[in-house]
Amino acid sequence: MKLLMEQWRGFLQEGRYEAATTELTRKLMPWVKFLITDILPKYIGKEPNKRDPNGLYVTTPQKYEKGKGLPKELEDKMFKAEFKFYIDPKIFEETGDKFQIGGAFMGDPDSKEYSFLQINTFLDPSFSEQDLNDFLASLKGITIHEIQHGGQSEEVLKTSDPRTYNPMGGYNHDYNKVEGLRGYYASESEVDSYTKETYKKAKYYKKPFPEILDKRLQEFFDMFKRRRDKMNAEDDKETPGEFRVQYSEEELNNFFFKELRDKYIAYAKTKYPEAQGI
């Protein structure tokens, strides 16, 4: 009986927020296809937007609010899920990516009616239907990641960022040091959400969990290596030999591909034992 109960709890954990994620991403895809056919072609060859500090062009956000498209499963956790889309003429040139997706869950433990989910998508003008399979996998992964935060307790959420419920105070994790990266990516909150995201993508691709995880960790590594190289190059011009970013490429590699990888896989074994390859 105990084994059956454990298996049932595992099944419920694996399926949590799957339906809500599918509902949101399914509603969103017609808009994405409209961007591909009617909007993005107009920006091919266009220079970055001089009116935006990051050179981005903004498109109409898609909102799903309580009683107006927000999945019923999420109504006790947030009042809306908002998806913003930006056209970035330089994203492919600078990163080799046709798209990038990031997200955030803005939580208020005292008033759930003020909590919301926001997903930001950055598209290169050359983004096309050929990219939709990988795009949908990432969109589903990031969306369920942020929904997972919506189901976490206040105590768990605070492990990744003490400012969550104190926008005017607290502190940022210092991403110029490995300790700062560890404080965020190895926190209880992010371990829980990133393993959920990875499991979702692994099921989508029908591939082993470690294979999908390694791709995600490579994204982290590349992102922080680019950041280090850019910031240290700027520092070397102004204060030669004095650098803000204080980790080597080897230290960055060891953190993401050894320490963090082991931590995420160990956690996935307890939460998603049916995942391939763990």
Q: What is the DSSP string of 71-82?
A: -GGGTTT-SEEE
Residue that is written with structure tokens 């950041």 in the block: 227
The pLDDT value given to residue 161: 74
Q: Residue 174 — very low, low, confident or very high, per pLDDT cuts 50/70/90? A: confident
Q: Residue 169 — very low, low, confident or very high, per pLDDT cuts 50/70/90? A: low
**Residue 57, SS3?**
strand
Reading the block at residue 114, the tokens are 């003020």
Query: What pTM value is reported for the model?
Result: 0.88
Closest CA to 88 of 78, 79, 100: 100
Q: pLDDT tens digits, residue range 71-109?
A: 999 999 999 999 999 999 999 999 999 999 999 998 766
CA 120 from centre of chain: 9
Q: Residue 5 — very low, low, confident or very high, per pLDDT cuts 50/70/90? A: very low
d(CA 102, CA 87) in angstroms, rounded, equals 14
The answer for residues whose C-beta is within 8 angstroms of residue 192's C-beta and 6 or more apart is 148, 152, 156, 267, 271
Q: Residue 34 above 80 pLDDT?
A: yes
Question: 212-232 in b/e burial notation, b at 16+ Cβ within 10 A?
Answer: bbeebbeebbeebeeebeeee
The pLDDT value given to residue 107: 79
Least-confidence region, from 11-15, 81-85, 145-149: 11-15
Least-confidence region, from 213-217, 242-246, 256-260: 242-246
Q: Residue 180 above 60 pLDDT?
A: yes
Reading the block at residue 84, the tokens are 């913003």
For the chain, the average pLDDT equals: 90
User: How far is CA 242 from each of CA 198, 227, 250, rounded to the nearest angstrom?
Assistant: 37, 16, 19
Q: Residue 66 above 80 pLDDT?
A: yes
